[in-house]
Amino acid sequence: MQAKNDLLLRAASGQLVERPPVWLMRQAGRILPEYRALRASVSGFLELVRTPELVCEVTLQPVDVLDVDAAIIFSDILVIPEAMGLPYSMVESVGPRFADPVRTAADVARLRIAHPEDLAYVTEGIRLTRQALNDRVPLIGFAGAPWTLMAYMVEGGGSKTFSHARRMLYMAPELSAVLLDKITDGTIAYIQAQVKAGAQLIQLFDSWAGVLSPSQYREFALPRLQRLCQAVPEVPVTVFAKDAWFALEDLAQLDCAVIGLDWQQEASVVRDRIGNKVFQGNLDPCLLYADPAEIAAQTRRMLDSFGNPHIANLGHGVYPDTPLDGVRAFVDAVKAYRY
């Protein structure tokens, strides 16, 4: 059945569209009062992620409240490490934490390859959401890129430098390759299960691409991203590699339909360097704190710079304390735009 609003899928496939589709990374989250109320009623973030009915409810909230052109399944990239046998906790105002980070060959050997059955709560959430959406808008599935997952698993949490993880690439490249391949194998099965359950586009988040050197990114990250892109030929794939300006030409060679851009990259420059992809992005998330008129003006300027087709989004996830009026001003400005 064709979605009632298929702007995202048409734009992602490279078709000219009447206006850009718009959605926001982290649109299902703390910017919405509905989400905060639901979160307060449960034990915490991980209970939400692991309960398919709640996953469905949270995923639908921004579609209902903001009238965005796509839903993205409410989940977390770190469900893969957990399914590999590396549990994590989500510390309020701090972020994810792994009590036993991966540092040795024995640590890597103990990890299993994630199996879709271990992540059935995600795929069941996708099935419930597709049914509840009734094809109003497309549903996006997602996963973390192997390098970004390795970075968290080795570091033990977030970091400005990810020096432990980067050190492993230099000091134990063969062990690093084994870990990355284990992550990749499980992630392939995971995104294939998401598509089978009803995801209509897959986004790969390489959030920490920018901490690697160009040579390391080409050796360790890009080949595994390519394997992921090739694993789901039935649906478009978006690759969002934050701060990877140094690898744009390499990213353009991936079998993905869309490249997500962070807010520090200019459309005209990127288009000159790689013109064979659809771009997604890339408004500065901090702009959403500004006056609604300024948000609308800057949004129109961004849309003019990208041309048709283009998927409107932020250059990173929406910040938790972003005013809802700012988010609405952005979404409304995109929806009022016409090519």
Query: What is the spatial distance between Cα 295 and Cα 143, in angstroms, rounded to a whole number?
Result: 30
Which of 10, 30, 127, 136 is catalytic? The answer is 30
Separation CA 260–CA 245 (nearest Å) = 11
User: Whole-angstrom Cα distance, residue 203 to residue 191?
Assistant: 10
- The reply to whether 127 belongs to the active site is no
Q: Is 319 a catalytic residue?
A: no
**Annotated active-site residue in 35, 88, 152, 190:** 152
Contacts of 254 (CB under 8 A, 6+ apart): 222, 225, 226, 229, 239
Bridge partner residues of 241 (DSSP): 206
Which of the following is catalytic: 6, 19, 26, 69? Answer: 26
Tell me, yes or no, if 136 is annotated catalytic.
no
Annotated catalytic residue within 6, 19, 39, 217: 39
Measured CA to CA in angstroms, residue 82 lies from 21, 100, 294, 304, 307 at distances of 33, 12, 42, 42, 41
Cβ contact 334:303 at 8 Å: yes
Active site residue 272: no
Strand 89-91 versus strand 95-97 pairing type:
antiparallel
Q: Exposed, middle or buried, 263 (CB in 10 Å: 0-12/13-18/19+)? A: middle
39 is catalytic: yes
Distance, CA of 150 to CA of 165 (rounded, Å): 7
Q: What is the dihedral of CA 55, 129, 285, 270, to 10 degrees?
A: 130
| Nearest by Cα to 144 from 79, 219, 234 | 79
Longest dimension (CA), the chain: 57
* Active-site choice (19, 35, 69, 76): 76
Paired strand residues for 283: 314
Q: Which positions are annotated as active-site residues?
A: 26, 30, 39, 76, 152
